[in-house]
Amino acid sequence: MDTTYIETERLILRSWRVTDRAVFAEINSNNKVMKYFPKPLSIEESNGFVDRINSEFEETGFGLYAVEIKETGEFIGYVGFHRFTFDVPFSPGWEIGWRISDKFWNKGYATESAMACIKYAREKKLCNRLYSFTAVPNIPSENVMKRIGMTFDGLFMHPALAEGHWLKEHKLYSLDL
């Protein structure tokens, strides 16, 4: 049975369905969507990602919500929270992030759903500070961070990426809840 966590005017943020996996694998294999990630994901990697998302929900009660368009019921990606623990001065913490199919870009869905997530995080007292970060060239994602009221905190080198990797330098944003 689906659990709806958050509703907005146009979107439902809910638990993941088995039927989301195929569409999510398409999103994760799309070079345009994955441009600012180290590489597109295989079907197996995408399914493993969904498994980790579901595990995080079971462990914490929070996670990356499947995003569905209310009017059509179409699954378009995810928006939500991830607990990060990698080796940076601001870790551990909670990240807000998004990945939306390019078919639905420039419609305000990431901003709308992220704003609803922030409200939900405040109501549920998820944490005191929420973070978001992206590779320096990823201006569209950075623009969402700005639109949802986050503040630029500086740059950092992502420890999961090799020295010299074109995506290693990241912009860090945060928001006090």
User: DSSP secondary-structure letter at 58?
Assistant: H
Rounded CA-CA distance 81/120 in Å is: 11
> What confidence score (pLDDT) does residue 5 get?
85
Residue 113 has pLDDT above 60, yes or no: yes
**pLDDT tens-place string over residues 47-88:** 999 999 999 999 998 999 999 999 999 999 999 999 999 989
User: Is the model's pLDDT at 1 over the cut of 80?
Assistant: no
SS3 label, residue 127: coil
pLDDT tens, 125-139? 999 999 999 999 999
Distance CA 50, CA 66 (A): 10
Q: Is the pLDDT of residue 3 over 90?
A: no
Place of tokens 């639109």: 147
CA distance 9 to 69: 10
What percentage of the chain has pLDDT greater than the value 70?
99
Cβ–Cβ < 8 Å for 29, 35: no
Residue 99 has pLDDT above 80, yes or no: yes
What pLDDT score was predicted for residue 2? 58
- Domains of the chain by range and CATH? 4-127 (3.40.630.30)
Task: Please give the pLDDT value at position 4.
Answer: 72
**Quick one: average pLDDT of 24-32?**
98
Mean pLDDT across 86-92? 92
CB 27 within 8 A of CB 77: yes
Rounded average pLDDT over 150-169: 96
- What is the C-alpha to C-alpha distance for residues 6 and 10, in angstroms, rounded to an integer? 11
CB 100 within 8 A of CB 109: yes
d(CA 152, CA 168): 17
